[in-house]
């Protein structure tokens, strides 16, 4: 039904000379409204209802469906933020395929994805020497001297938000980096990151300028506040290798709010 409605709109739009959806809305308004109604009806009947169906039973936790509208439940935004690391890769994958199909692109799929969304690990090695020097030759997380492989870690995990700005990058032991992975850091590390932000932002900017990197302090701080701002108490946070803890989130929020 939805596909047929979209096809009809396209036929009417092309006949009117419309080449964009805005032109179609202006030139064939009745057909446009019928299409919107058909899409909305189909969306309400299937994805909206099925998204909260678990093991064959309805278990609303994000929203309630009422006649003619959807009412979000308290805390729905926090649930969506926590689901983002799982949902975002699927959205990106289907978006890439759609862009490739519509534009008849012959690019290898991963190359196109990198172009649209960025790469998870770009040439971070360019920053390693200067970040290690800034950290006095010690791992950002365990504070011990580097004695092996050194890696550049995204303090806010890449899966939470793909931020390559230098303020979000730290030098760490491989064992710390690999063990932390996608988990948000505990209060002790947030405090360390906030202190570095307050004291060494200009040093980080100088390093970025020297190697042609991006420095975005306001954005990086905003993302940190946003990530921790949506976490409920009891969320597992990474403290050390093989040690994940649960901590009250308010002290972390307050520490980040105090950063200027």
Q: What is the DSSP letter of 144?
A: P
Single pTM value for the model: 0.60
Q: Are residues 148 and 41 in the same domain?
A: no
In the chain, which ranges are E strands?
A: 53-54, 57-58, 63-66, 69-72, 150-154, 169-173, 236-240, 243-246
87, two tokens: 């949902």
Q: Are residues 154 and 114 in the same domain?
A: no
Q: Are residues 210 and 98 in the same domain?
A: no
Q: Are residues 90 and 111 in the same domain?
A: yes
**Residue 52 three-state SS:** coil
**Count of helix runs (H) and strand runs (E) in the chain:** 11, 8
Q: Are residues 59 and 85 in the same domain?
A: no
Q: Cα-atom radius of gyration of the chain, to the nearest Å?
A: 24
pLDDT tens-digit map of 2-11: 778 888 998 9
Looking at the 3D structure of the chain, how many domains does it have? 3
What residues have CB less than 8 Å from 50, skipping those under 6 apart? none
pLDDT tens-digit map of 37-86: 888 777 767 777 777 776 567 778 788 888 778 888 888 877 777 666 66
123-131: average pLDDT:
86
Q: Are residues 244 and 158 in the same domain?
A: yes
Distances, alpha carbon 9 to alpha carbons 3, 23, 151, in Å: 10, 12, 53
pLDDT tens-digit map of 239-254: 999 999 999 999 999 9
Q: Provide the residue range defining the domain that includes 156.
A: 125-257
């Amino acid at each position: 039904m939805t596909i047929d409605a979209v096809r009809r709109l396209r036929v009417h739009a092309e006949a009117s000379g419309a080449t964009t959806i805005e032109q179609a809305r202006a030139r064939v308004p009745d057909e446009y409204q019928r299409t919107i109604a058909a899409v909305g009806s189909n969306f309400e009947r299937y994805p909206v209802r099925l998204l909260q169906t678990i093991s064959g039973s309805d278990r609303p936790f994000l929203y309630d469906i009422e006649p003619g509208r959807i009412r979000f439940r308290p805390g729905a935004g926090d649930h969506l933020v926590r689901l983002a690391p799982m949902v975002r890769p699927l959205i990106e994958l289907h978006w890439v395929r759609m862009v490739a199909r519509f534009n008849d692109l012959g690019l290898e799929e991963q190359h196109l994805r990198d172009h649209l969304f960025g790469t998870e690990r770009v040439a971070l090695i360019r920053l390693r020497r200067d970040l290690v020097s800034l950290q006095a030759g010690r791992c950002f997380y365990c504070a011990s001297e580097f004695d092996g492989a050194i890696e550049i870690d995204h303090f806010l995990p890449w899966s939470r938000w793909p931020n390559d700005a230098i303020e979000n990058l730290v030098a760490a032991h491989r064992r710390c980096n690999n063990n932390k992975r996608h988990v948000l850091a505990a209060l002790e590390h947030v405090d360390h990151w906030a202190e570095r932000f307050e004291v060494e932002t200009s040093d980080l900017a100088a390093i970025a300028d020297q190697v042609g990197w991006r420095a975005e302090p306001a954005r990086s701080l905003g993302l940190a506040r946003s990530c921790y701002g949506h976490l409920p108490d009891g969320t597992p946070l990474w403290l050390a290798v093989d040690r994940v803890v649960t901590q009250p989130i308010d002290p972390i929020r307050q520490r980040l709010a105090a950063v200027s």
